[in-house]
Structure 1
Amino acid sequence: MKRIKIDRSKCIGCLTCVTACIVSHESSDSRNRVTIDSKTKPAPIFCRHCDKPECVYTCMTGAMSKDRETGLVQYDKERCASCYMCIMACPYGVLKSDRIEYKEIMKCNMCVHRTENNEPKPMCVEKCPMGAITLEEA
């Protein structure tokens, strides 16, 4: 399974990845699925689509699930109870809640809507001007 990787030594904190995410998901209100780690300099962190995802195990409604075929952790907004247990359980801190009125969990979905030849084609990888974000075999 391929996962998004970030090389922090190449990242300049331009946040083009955030804009690419917004464009890819056609968010008219700037909602994005990229979490920014700003402890030292702004840099993206992405859902790792864990082998044993804590967010899936703590989700009582089944809104978070692991696709056995693709290996991706998926989110179903319609099943979500907005309890935010998945956010609390994620050891990497990559899940975030959308604005209160939406009550939606925002997480990287590897731009599954842009899949080509059965391969995900995340727009953040495609648009990163420094080549800091790559798609690699895990």
Structure 2
Amino acid sequence: MSGSDFFTIRHGSFHAAVLYSALEHLPIHNLKKLFRLAKKAQFENEDAIQGIRSYFDTAIPEAQETMRAAAKAYEDGWRKVDKPRSRNPKTVEQLRINKELTTRFKQAHARYERLVASRKVFEETLFPDTKHPMN
């Protein structure tokens, strides 16, 4: 693997090499822990923090565009089937297309929402809003 595929978080004797693509699959709780560790040794992890920020800056718009394309394909291709239990080949084919379009949109939307949530955790953990009255 090249250095651009992953980032490294260090704090004391702790050392973690994490794939950028894993950020969208890790549980939020684990992301918070990882980002807190990065904040504790912020100077040592500055490259990782910048790498994570740039990953989110490119991945979120890409995911949003994918979601919009999936939504457009869904709008253009999804058709209501009058008798969904019919085994007519045309009906079966349209049901398959409908299911595929629905699945693609749901997956694209879930990925986008997950990236946005991960970015929010990243920003709140490493760069808290000190002007907020509850802080």
TM-score after normalising by structure 2: 0.22
> Max radius of gyration: which structure?
2
Richer in helix (by share) = 2
So what's the TM-score if we normalise by structure 1?
A: 0.21
Going by fraction, where is strand more abundant, 1 or 2?
Answer: 1
The higher relative CO (CA closer than 8 Å, separation ≥ 6) is in 1
